[in-house]
A = this chain, B = another copy of it.
Amino acid sequence: MIALETLSTNKAHGGVQGVYSHASAATGTPMTFSVFVPDHAPGARLPVLWYLSGLTCTHANVTEKGEYRAACAEQGIIFVAPDTSPRGDDVADDEAYDFGKGAGFYVNATQEPWAAHFQMRRYIEDELPALVAQHFPVDMARQGITGHSMGGHGALTIALRNPGRFRSVSAFAPIVSPLNCPWGEKALTGYIGPDRAAWREYDACALIDDGARLPDLLVDQGTADGFLAEQLRTELLEQAVARAGMPSTIRLQHGYDHSYYFISTFMADHVAWHGERLKG
């Protein structure tokens, strides 16, 4: 069993909100994540919802501000929130908020100096699920995934690359096409290199164009989000799912911005939407 250190536990909404740390083989660093386990019958295994965070965030932002616990307690869903990058003094970094620490973009970096630790795809797709399955009462046959902004990009691309793994996929204000926005161009050039063909597996719209499909999709996007026009570009996802004939519900929410005030407003909706698809 992979060792897990408990950093804190607090009773909340009838369950336990914990924060944990472990030595990651994928990133070669300690990694911290949070898990909310609702009250449940002894021996029961619960569906799990993965939440991937956005630029500059750690597990803590959604854990403190996400307002997911009441809904997860009601639905009986375990909620897991990983960090967004490796951390530590020996991890390469950049001065910018949108590259380096806090900005792992859920890729396996191939370029120096990033390749040594920035293996967030492997961490989120393989290592953390194995760890969570060992330590928490999860039913790995019932997984959903969601995320915000860069984490919405992570949720969409991970689900598109792993058909059948997730019964439900949603996102809050996701980056839908790193090939077509400054955040994505900067990060993928830095982590993956200049060959844009290699970026396609990290681009939700390109993955859909290349044939990947989701069973269904829920996206909420605020109309007052300052990143919408240049970085998030929800219209590209709308066009991709239309071309593919893929079922989706993409909602523009009037007056909402990019903050946790937006996320927390629609969190219960998303948890309920996942809950419907994760039952039984």
**CA separation between A81 and B70, bound complex, in Å?**
22
1/0 contact trace for A236-280 toward B, CB 8 Å? 000000000000000000011101111011001000000000000
Nearest B residue to A267 by beta-carbon distance? B70
Q: Which residues A33-76 have CB closer than 8 A to chain B? A: 64-65, 67, 69-70
What chain B residues lie within 8 Å of A257 (beta carbons)? 10-11
Which of A10, A13, A255 has the largest number of chain B CB atoms within 10 A? A10
**CA separation between A17 and B256, bound complex, in Å?**
11
- Please pick, from B222, B224, B261, the residue contacting A17 in the complex, using a CB distance under 8 A: B261
| Chain B: minimal CB distance from A63 (Å) | 10
20 inter-chain pairs at a CB distance below 8 angstroms, sorted by A residue, are A10-B257, A10-B262, A11-B222, A11-B224, A11-B256, A11-B257, A11-B261, A11-B262, A11-B265, A12-B261, A12-B264, A12-B265, A13-B265, A14-B265, A64-B64, A64-B65, A64-B260, A65-B65, A67-B70, A69-B264
**CA separation between A222 and B13, bound complex, in Å?**
12
What chain B residues lie within 8 Å of A224 (beta carbons)? 11
Nearest B residue to A256 by beta-carbon distance? B11
| A67 and B67 form a contact (CB under 8 A) | yes
| Chain B: minimal CB distance from A67 (Å) | 5
| B10 and A268 form a contact (CB under 8 A) | no
Which of A70, A260, A261, A264 has the largest number of chain B CB atoms within 10 A? A261
| Chain B: minimal CB distance from A78 (Å) | 16
| A268 and B70 form a contact (CB under 8 A) | yes
Contact A262 to B12, CB < 8 A, known contacts A70-B268, A268-B70: yes
**CA separation between A50 and B69, bound complex, in Å?**
24
- Please pick, from B11, B12, B17, B261, the residue contacting A10 in the complex, using a CB distance under 8 A: B261
| Chain B: minimal CB distance from A131 (Å) | 23
What chain B residues lie within 8 Å of A10 (beta carbons)? 257, 259, 261-262
| Chain B: minimal CB distance from A123 (Å) | 27
**CA separation between A261 and B222, bound complex, in Å?**
28
1/0 contact trace for A203-244 toward B, CB 8 Å? 000000000000000000010100000000000000000000
**CA separation between A17 and B268, bound complex, in Å?**
18
